[in-house]
Amino acid sequence: MTNILQIAIVGAGMAGIACARELQANGYRDIAIFEKSRGVGGRLTTRRMFDTRVDRGTCYVSPKGEKFRALFDRLIAANIVETWTDTTHTLSANGEMLPDADIYPRYVAPDGMNQIAKYLATDLDIRFNHRAIAIQPDGNLWRLTLAGTETIEILARKVVLAIPAPQAVDLLAPLTAILPVEFLNDLKSVEFYPSIAVAAGYTPSQLAEWEAAYPQVKSVTCTDDPILAWLGVDSSKRQQPAPPAFVLQSTANFAAEYPNPEDTSTASIAMLERASERFFPWFRACQWQSPHLWRYAFTKSPLAQAYIAIDLPAPLVCTGDWCGGRKVEDAFLAGLAVASHLAKVTM
Ligand SMILES: Cc1cc2nc3c(=O)[nH]c(=O)nc-3n(C[C@H](O)[C@H](O)[C@H](O)COP(=O)(O)OP(=O)(O)OC[C@H]3O[C@@H](n4cnc5c(N)ncnc54)[C@H](O)[C@@H]3O)c2cc1C
C-alpha cells in the first residue's frame, strides 16, 4: 500500500488533465492521474503510423468561451496549434459539395491533436497502463484497485472519475447499495453514440485530384448518408510535404452494427467503399488503412451540470465532456469546475 493520495483522478483525457493542472496550479500536491492506456489525451488522440501522424479522434477544435479561448491563445503562442481552415463543407444527399455558412477558425495541432493534451499534462503525475477496476470505501478514504503489469491498491482522500459515464457506471456498479439513487440515475441517464474512425493513406496524385475537384475543402460533413458522417483531409494539417492521408468517421447507426473490435476492419472496408461512391473510385484502393472503434465517441444525452458529486464516505466526483456537452471544450470546463468544487470540500 502506498502513501495516501490527496486526490486520485481516473482518466487522462482533457477533463482529467484540466482538473489536475488547475488543482496543481492552486497549490494542491499529492495528486495522481491513473490512465489505462499508454498515452495522454483520451479521445484527443494521435497515432503515428506509415511515416505520418493521424488524428482518429478529435479532428479540430473551435474555442467558444473565454477560458478555453485563453488556453488557445497560449497554445497558438507556443506554436502548438494553428488555424486549419475557416470554412467547413457539407456533402448533400445528392452529392453537392457546399461551404457551411458559419465561418470561424478551426484549430489543429500540426504535430497531432494529442499535443494539446501533452502541453496541459506537463509536470502532472500520470501513471499510464493503470486501469481502475474497482473502488471501495475504506474508512473515510477511497480504496482504488488498479490493474496493469501488476494489480495494486491505492488510498485517496478524494477521487475523480474523469471517464465516459457508462464506464463510471460499470466501475461503481458494486457500490449501488451505498450510493445515492439520484447520483446513479444521473450517471445512468447519460448515453453515448459509437463511431468508427478510419485513417487511410493515398498517393500524391490522388490527393492532387481531390484538391483540383475540391479546392480548399478539408472537412466534409456528409448529410443523410447511412455510413459516412464526416471526412477530413488529415495530411493537410501536417507540415508539408506529408504522406497524403484522409480520416473518415462513420455514422452512429453504422458503428452500432459492428460492436466487436474484431469486426472493425470489415467496417473499414465498407466505409472506404462508400467513400468511393461518394467522392472518387480510388478511395477503396488505399495504400494503407487503420480503423478504430470508439464505443463512447459522442455524448448523446449530456447532463446540464459540470459534474456530479457525493461527499460520503469521502468526496467522489464524476465528470467528462458528457457534463455540459460533447466536445473538448466541455471536458476542459468540466475539469476546471471539478477542481474548484474539490478546493471547497474539506479534507
Ligand atoms: C472520432 C471523434 C471525433 C471527435 N471530434 C471532435 C472535434 O472535432 N472537436 C471536439 O471538440 N471534440 C471532438 N470529439 C469529442 C472529444 O474528443 C471529447 O469531447 C473529449 O476528448 C472528451 O474528453 P474527456 O476527458 O471527457 O474523455 P476521454 O477523452 O474519453 O478521456 C477519458 C480517459 O479515461 C481513460 N479511462 C477510461 N476508463 C478508465 C479506467 N477504468 N481506468 C483508467 N483510465 C480509464 C481513457 O483511456 C481516456 O484516456 C471527437 C470524438 C471522437 C471519438
This prediction's pTM: 0.97
Ligand 1 neighbour 68 (Cβ under 6 A)? no
- Which triple of cell numbers denotes residue 25? 496550479
Query: How far away, in angstroms, is 244 Cα from ligand 1 center?
Result: 26
- For the chain, how many residues are written? 347
Could you say which DSSP state residue 281 is in?
A: G
The answer to whether the CB of 318 falls within 8 A of the CB of 9 is no
The answer to whether the CB of 322 falls within 8 A of the CB of 304 is no
Nearby residues of 275 by Cβ (< 8 Å), 6 or more positions away: 228, 231, 246, 248, 283, 284
Ligand 1 neighbour 196 (Cβ under 6 A)? no
Domain boundaries, the chain: 5-44+119-189+306-344, 60-112+192-299
Ligand 1 neighbour 60 (Cβ under 6 A)? yes
pLDDT, tens digit, for every residue of 56-81?
999 999 999 999 999 999 999 999 99
- pLDDT of 240 > 90? The answer is no
How far is 218 from 87, CA to CA, in rounded Å? Answer: 9
Rounded to 5°, angle at Cα 50 from 45 and 53: 30
Given this chain, do its domains 5-44+119-189+306-344 and 60-112+192-299 carry the same CATH topology? no
pLDDT, tens digit, for every residue of 78-134?
999 999 999 999 999 999 999 999 999 999 999 999 999 999 999 999 999 999 999
pLDDT, tens digit, for every residue of 291-318?
999 999 999 999 999 999 999 789 999 9
Query: How far away, in angstroms, is 179 Cα from ligand 1 center?
Result: 25
Q: Does the structural domain 60-112+192-299 have CATH classification 3.40.50.620?
A: no
How far is 40 from 112, CA to CA, in rounded Å? Answer: 12
pLDDT, tens digit, for every residue of 28-41?
999 999 999 999 99
| Average pLDDT of the residues of the chain | 96
- Give the residue-averaged pLDDT of 190-216: 97
How far is 66 from 72, CA to CA, in rounded Å? Answer: 10
The set of long-range contacts for 271-277, using a CB threshold of 8 Å and a minimum separation of 24, is 271/196, 271/198, 271/227, 271/228, 272/198, 272/200, 272/248, 274/225, 274/227, 274/228, 275/228, 275/231, 275/246, 275/248
- pLDDT of 346 > 70? The answer is no
Ligand 1 neighbour 333 (Cβ under 6 A)? no
CATH architecture of 5-44+119-189+306-344: 3-Layer(bba) Sandwich (3.50)
